[in-house]
Structures are given as C-alpha cells and as structure tokens.
Amino acid sequence: MRLRSRNQERQRAWQASRESKLQPLSSCEACAPPSPEEVQSWAQSFDKLMHSPAGRSVFRAFLRTEYSEENMLFWLACEELKAEANRHVVDEKARLIYEDYVSILSPKEVSLDSRVREGINRKMQEPSAHTFDDAQLQIYTLMHRDSYPRFLSSPTYRALLLPEPPQSSSEA
C-alpha cells in the first residue's frame, strides 16, 4: 500500500510539473502583486503555490528566512533542465546542478537520501534532462510536507491575506 501511495504521489508531482509552463522567478520580480484570491488559493494546495510565479517568489523569500532557499533553487533548476532540448546545454546544466546542489562540497547542498544520491551519481555518466527527477520529487515532497505548512502559518503569508488599505485619491 505504501509503495502504491508513493507511486501515486510521484505520478501526480510528475504530471503537475509536465503540465505547467513555469515562468522563471526572475521574471516575477517585476510582476504585479498577487490578488487576494490568488494568495488565498495558495492555502488550497502546494501545487497552486508552486504554479504561481508570485507564489514561488513569496515562498522562496520565506524559505530564505528558514535557511532552506536552496530547495526552491534546486527545484527550479530541475524544471529549467527538463525544458532544455539541446544535448550540450543539458550536459552543462546537469553538471552545474550537480555541483551547486548535489555535491557534498556545495554550500547549497540539498538533503537527499543515499539511494537518490547514488542514482544521480550513476546517471551523471550520461546526463539527461531527467537525471534529477527522483531528487526533484524528494525535495518537492520535503517542501510540501515540511516548509509549506509553516509558510501558511507564517507572518509573511498572513500579511498577504490582510486587505490592502484604501488608496487616497488626493495625492499632493
């Protein structure tokens, strides 16, 4: 039963990542503030938060306060890798992801279990756009189960739920 549940979770996460056309975080730095409805939707599911450029940006800022921003950065790098078709670019991006997030020498190392880490080490002999799929799912699940509930209770998220004060129409 546990294996079945794990496979269903993996399939759901994989499908969600394949269906979404994610905008890079950098493109959100100038985006409009999220609507109150969008902010409220983030509490409905982690997937809704992760599919929203503004949601990812706010969640990333929250993760930074918890010293776990590398989880979001790794997840985004994997999404970018999966979207790449050029073999040479895939090789280079995979190497950079490995050096930045998987290598035990990296200051931004993400927490992966030994089975996943060993699988990546084998796959790095001939990297593909899916070299980090198992690791990405593990980090996604970690953020979902660990950081996301704290985010929803955080002052950062709660402040976004407060209604905006009315703007004064008389500016002098």
User: 3-state class of 103 per DSSP?
Assistant: coil
Amino acid letter at 37?
E
Encoding tokens for residue 47?
Answer: 């997937």
**What's the confidence (pLDDT) of residue 2?**
47
Give dist(CA 82, CA 78) in Å, integer: 6
Q: Where residue 31 falls among pLDDT bands split at 50, 70, 90?
A: low
Give dist(CA 157, CA 11) in Å, integer: 29
pLDDT tens digits, one per residue of 95-148:
999 999 999 999 999 999 999 999 999 999 999 999 999 999 999 999 999 999
Note whether 161 and 36 are within 8 A (CB): yes
Query: Which of 31, 89, 65, 73 lies closest to 147, judged by CA?
Result: 65
Note whether 110 and 139 are within 8 A (CB): yes
pLDDT tens digits, one per residue of 34-64:
899 999 999 999 999 999 999 999 999 999 9
